[in-house]
A and B are shown apart, each in its own frame.
Chain A
């Protein structure tokens, strides 16, 4: 079970949280202008990397706030947590990826 550092509540068990999938996928400003494949890409396609993944979590059994997590999908190491709207921090993603 992951120990997730909620930016507002501190480290808590994974069971208090829900994962909202890959982060940094902004909703297109004008969906009507997108082709069907472009819209499908926004709607369905996700990276699913082996390595560092930036994803959204919500502390659903706690403060109910959403935030971003950079998590290594193999080691499950949490490299960073940061607030919504903030850019992903430097996590040394490349070197971490090589670790696998």
Chain B
């Protein structure tokens, strides 16, 4: 293992007594507790750490936080592997394994660098152009592109980790635990308000963690420690470190990603989830999200060793890691002078500070000069040199306007370039909340302007950079937010924390350094490092007419990487504004969308995976089906027995046996899942007349009637049998899958349209178990189980209901039939379901009673030509289409859907209509969904005239049967049609959609 040769001898917030081993790209390294993967890589002098997305150029670490565009790694391997992790936000743990992405075959020797040589072939809009022309080329490119591009791989195995969700409320949610956020949380917390303080880092303090600052007359970090201790002691305050606020949604609803055990690796305790997703409804929000430094763009500004000045300071101060040994600082503002001083203090040679401002003055440049560092005013770094890592920069003078270079170029040797082009307030969450941005000329950046929600931005996020102002404004915002949430300052609350004032000279807005050679020739000026978007790409897009920020973004993919352009976007907009000769505010920004940083799918799914993905509903008789080895079918959330195979039986065998048993003797089916709605009230009848197509006025007590329900558009919605139980009491049944929808539908009409109707609806689906006994011997079987119900055809006719006892249990018995056979549906309270089922099985033993499942039921009803809503109908099917005009009342003045049936399109001839299909080869079973043609052609396209809706082998008939919807089908009976399949075409004759006992003699028997 290599020593940490770039680790400073002292300092930093790392724990040198806790060395940690880790592996990067197959090599073993050592770091310390408190490191991030990025700081540990810097301490070990590892470079490059990645290859770029499009050109596969070597890349180094650029930032130190969430903005990092380059150091994207694949973390761990196997089922726990995570793509798309920013090394700057991965806390080091013992045994960590990570690898670079975009490196094929390796980070140091890269075939994809071929892309770099072919860069003239990969211009802006490359993907779109490839799709467009020449046709079919995309298919050929794709393999290579998919392989060479991309940001890591998704795990192939199920995620072994656990993720939790937390729902909570807060009076004040403070986002960001830097000086502004801590001050806000303290102020709000002291009022007694419920406060949540969330921060993405492992410890609170934000930029103060870099050290050096002073608050209340002492080291800033002492104040941070005291503030955190005070907050921890407050009962109503919740501190969430390692918690990134990812999304800001309507009505102050925010999501927070808390990384609970990610930083522990294999040492993570089993009782804790890996991450938690917090869903917070906040009364007030304080956004103290800080800011991200932006780069200055010069030729080949992507070389490893070129990083944000603030990041270099963080690595040196917080992690005691040396990002280089000889630095050039290139800045258009004062903040990076502090970095130069910090680097010098840490023993890193600072070759020069290059500053486009003609005469950098003020305390910071003065201190820098006093330290013996050369300050080159009115100059700029125009290019970086070096094979891999930067080895030197070229510095030239700038003309007055900054649009051209003057004088001789000077080469300065260095292995580190610290760049600062100013600061972009982190306005992502503010923008997600709907707030409007304003361009601030002094800052040369966008700041929050007008809030859309109960929110306020403070500190750097609001364009306030001086520590003293951040503390004061943060404290004030905390008090304001608490007050608006109803919490007043208690007594003589302590004053806001104070920091000494600092004097900084204004920055010089500066984006792209002019060059002596045309841009894009030989060198590249990168704006978006993650997606490899250059100044030349933006220029090309503008030439091709993409002049709006949103179009530019999509055409060049600028800002569309996983970093959402946190570093480069404003620079890109500035370049665009220059090219289209408009000011930056008028060019505008692109839309900021959640999440702020990538979120894993595992976290979003939480515990709702596997068996918990969706509720499972089981009938009271489910256990019996399981014990009998039933194959189950999902119908909505219900588990229904599909068929009951005996030993050695195929599904086909079992289903044939079940069908024949029902036709020839007796079968029994668990029909408990059918939807049941109890309807009571003096206006129940009026409701039925409204929602069904047929008339209900003359239905006698104890009688049942089939009904068809339409949408107001005239299309079939559901069907079922409704029984009149008493004067004002009905029981409606619905399809299994349609039960919830029908109840909601009826409720909607009752509550929104017919408020005067006196009727109540209750779902009783689960209150009743339903045992359907069907077949010619059904009556004989049932007669053994009941003595108080006269089962004779005369006393108990088809489509009627009798109450009594069955197997000693109070029951409602319905004489209805979906199979076409004599059939009784025994309804008993669900808790008696299993007992009655067992009694039926016992009483039926001598008839060879056969349990049958949904498959046999579907075949039996298809033999009868009974439709299944959702099979024979699809939301564009009228009653007439399925041959059910007979159930549509002509006399009722109105019902839901009636008016639509006379619309020209619903009333026209030749619609898709339900027919039967009998294949010419009776053994041939058509596939459901098969497309029907009148004239088969040799190959597609062919004119399709319909499709197969249901198709089965009918054991009762000894041949195949099918139902189909065919254009003008009602007039095609006797015609031969064709179903072209792969390798063959099946011919069939159109018939009546009724294949068995068309007169219905059997079910009335």
The residues of A with any CB-CB pair to B shorter than 8 Å are 1-3, 13, 18, 20, 26-27, 30-32, 34, 36, 39-40, 43, 56, 58, 60, 64-66, 75-76, 84-85
Contacts and interface: CB of A to CB of B under 8 A. Distances in A.
A58 B744 CA distance: 9
Contact of A3 (B251, B713, B893, B894): B251
What 6 A-B pairs come out closest when comparing CB atoms?
A31-B899, A66-B751, A3-B251, A1-B253, A76-B250, A66-B752
Contacts of A76: 250-251
Contact of A39 (B253, B452, B752, B900): B900
B212 to A, nearest CB: 42
Contacts of A26: 753
Contacts of A84: 751-752, 755
B253 A43 contact: no
Contact of B249 (A1, A27, A43, A66): A1
Contacts of B434: 75
B250 A1 contact: yes
Contacts of B281: 3, 13
Contact of B755 (A1, A34, A40, A85): A85
Contacts of A1: 249-251, 253
A1 B252 CA distance: 8
Nearest to A44: B713
Interface in B244-266: 249-253
Interface string B741-759: 0001001100111010000
B898 interface: yes
B904 A36 contact: yes
Contacts of B452: 75
B712 A43 contact: yes
Given A20-B752, A31-B898, A43-B712, A60 B744 contact: yes
Nearest to A26: B753
A64 to B, nearest CB: 6
B903 interface: yes
B430 to A, nearest CB: 15
18 contacts: A3-B251, A3-B252, A3-B281, A13-B281, A27-B712, A31-B894, A31-B899, A32-B894, A32-B899, A34-B899, A36-B904, A39-B899, A40-B903, A43-B712, A58-B744, A58-B747, A58-B751, A66-B748
Nearest to B249: A1
Given A31-B894, A40-B903, A56-B752, 17 more contacts: A1-B249, A1-B250, A2-B251, A3-B251, A31-B898, A31-B899, A32-B893, A32-B898, A34-B899, A39-B900, A58-B747, A64-B747, A65-B751, A66-B752, A75-B452, A84-B752, A84-B755
A20 B900 CA distance: 20
Interface string B278-313: 000100000000000000000000000000000000
B251, B755, B903 interface centre (most CB from chain A within 10 Å)? B251
Nearest to B714: A43
Nearest to B253: A1
A58 B755 contact: no
Contact of B903 (A2, A13, A36): A36
A84 B756 CA distance: 12
Interface string B690-728: 000000000000000000000011000000000000000
Question: What interface size band does chain B fall in?
Answer: 20 to 34
A87 to B, nearest CB: 14
A30 B894 CA distance: 8
Contacts of B713: 43
Grouping DSSP codes into helix (H, G, I), strand (E, B) and loop, the B interface class, with mixed when no group exceeds half, is: loop
A28 B340 CA distance: 77
A72 B755 CA distance: 27
B248 to A, nearest CB: 11
Interface in B765-820: none
A64 B752 CA distance: 12
Contacts of B894: 30-32
A75 B899 CA distance: 38
Contacts of A66: 747-748, 751-752
A3 B253 contact: yes
B251 A27 contact: no
A44 B900 CA distance: 12
A27 B711 CA distance: 13
B675 to A, nearest CB: 16
A18 B747 CA distance: 13
Nearest to A38: B899
Contacts of B899: 31-32, 34, 39
Nearest to A28: B899
A91 to B, nearest CB: 17
B182 to A, nearest CB: 28
Contacts of A2: 250-251
A39 to B, nearest CB: 5
A20 B748 contact: yes
A32 B891 CA distance: 13
Contacts of A34: 899
A43 B901 CA distance: 13
- Which residue, A18, A40, A58, A66, has most C-beta atoms of chain B within 10 A? A66
Contacts of B755: 84-85
A43 B751 contact: no
A76 to B, nearest CB: 5
Contacts of B900: 39, 43
Nearest to A34: B899
Contacts of A30: 894
A43 B434 CA distance: 34
B250 A27 contact: no
Contacts of B747: 58, 64, 66
Contacts of A64: 747
A43 B713 CA distance: 7
A39 B903 contact: yes
Chain A CB within 10 A, most for which of B751, B753, B904: B751
B893 to A, nearest CB: 7
A57 to B, nearest CB: 11
A63 B898 CA distance: 31
Contacts of A20: 748, 752
B946 to A, nearest CB: 26
Nearest to A78: B251
Contacts of B250: 1-3, 76
A48 B349 CA distance: 64
A65 B712 CA distance: 21
A60 B740 CA distance: 11
A18 B752 CA distance: 14
B31 to A, nearest CB: 41
Contacts of A58: 744, 747-748, 751
A85 to B, nearest CB: 6
A5 B497 CA distance: 40
Contacts of A40: 903
Interface in B665-693: none
A11 B903 CA distance: 42
Contacts of B251: 1-3, 76
B30 to A, nearest CB: 46
A27 B753 contact: yes
Contacts of A85: 755
Contacts of B893: 32
Contacts of A13: 253, 281
Contacts of A31: 894, 898-899
Contacts of B748: 20, 58, 66
Nearest to B894: A31
Interface in B208-244: none
Nearest to B761: A64
A60 B763 CA distance: 14
A69 to B, nearest CB: 13
A7 to B, nearest CB: 12
From B250, B452, B747, B898, residue with most partner A Cβ within 10 Å:
B250
Contacts of A32: 893-894, 898-899
A31 B899 CA distance: 6
A65 to B, nearest CB: 7
Contacts of B752: 20, 56, 66, 84
